Amino acid sequence: MNDKPNIAFIGGGNMARALIGGLIRNEHPADRLCVSDPNADVRDRLVELGVCAVADNLKAIEQARVIVLAVKPQALGAVARDLAPALRADPLVISIAAGVRIDTLRRWLGGHARIVRAMPNTPALVQAGATGLFAPAEVGSDERAVAESILRAVGVCVWVDSEALLDPVTALSGSGPAYVFLMMEAMQAAGEKLGLDAATARLLTLETMLGAARLALESNEDPATLRARVTSPGGTTERGIAALEQAGLRDAFDTALKAASDRAAELANMLDQA
């Protein structure tokens, strides 16, 4: 497959625009990208990027070797069924719709085999995303490489060996940004209770989160080692960590991720019946 194939995006929302912007920054020709979206304002914004933008899904995929399904999960069934008769050229289909299993999508697409399922997260909007990918055996190594190159335009990618593992991927990285935002809320609020003004507490919280993540990424050491290194015996950090442990922070994350993973499976089961 051409390493700069014609790509059609079905849906021009935030994630699709992030992927398109990332591809263009990575020197994918804009004239090989086409997007369909029913909203004229969305299409106008996409045209400003230099890509083709149309209202008709079937028109968008006419020349496509790759189709990225970027619509809401609830809408995907109807969209996929409309596309099915037009998939004669056997394009690679990449779905970024949360919770829609490949067997379900294959049924909606009339038995189409070459499908990759992707679970990106919202930091992709600032090219700092993390995406989990799965493909069945029918998808070859070249197609996998193409799918990865598209999602890598907005961050890092990891492949999982089983589609079922996309449920914990959803729980960890798909929902993960919200957990981090909640921690930011809590840290900022705690700082304000101790007397810091809101702006100072916010800045210190955000920069601390960013700096800690960057240090963890660049040091190649596990978080436990980094935590121990900054936890002096009898010091302030040790006291704070002990309070978090006593409050059950680890158990809270175990519970949260299990609940989110279970819910991802429940939603997929519901969509299977559609």
| 196-211 pLDDT per residue, tens | 999 999 999 999 999 9
Q: What's the pLDDT score for residue 2?
A: 55
User: Cα separation of 260 and 111, whole Å?
Assistant: 30
Q: Which band of pLDDT confidence, cut at 50, 70 and 90, is reported for residue 88?
A: confident
| Amino acid at residue number 238 | E
User: Cα separation of 153 and 149, whole Å?
Assistant: 6
Are the CB atoms for 165 and 257 separated by under 8 Å? Answer: no
Q: Which band of pLDDT confidence, cut at 50, 70 and 90, is reported for residue 272?
A: confident
User: Cα separation of 76 and 82, whole Å?
Assistant: 10
Q: pTM of this prediction? A: 0.93
Domains and CATH numbers, the chain: 7-161 (3.40.50.720), 174-263 (1.10.3730.10)
Cα 78 to its chain centre, rounded Å, is 22
Question: What average pLDDT score do residues 245-269 get?
Answer: 97
User: Which tokens belong to 123?
Assistant: 């930091």
| 18-65 pLDDT per residue, tens | 999 999 999 999 999 999 999 999 999 999 999 999 999 999 999 999
Question: What average pLDDT score do residues 74-78 get?
Answer: 96
In this prediction, what percent of the chain has a pLDDT beyond 70? 99
Q: What is the mean pLDDT of the chain?
A: 96
| 118-130 pLDDT per residue, tens | 999 999 999 999 9
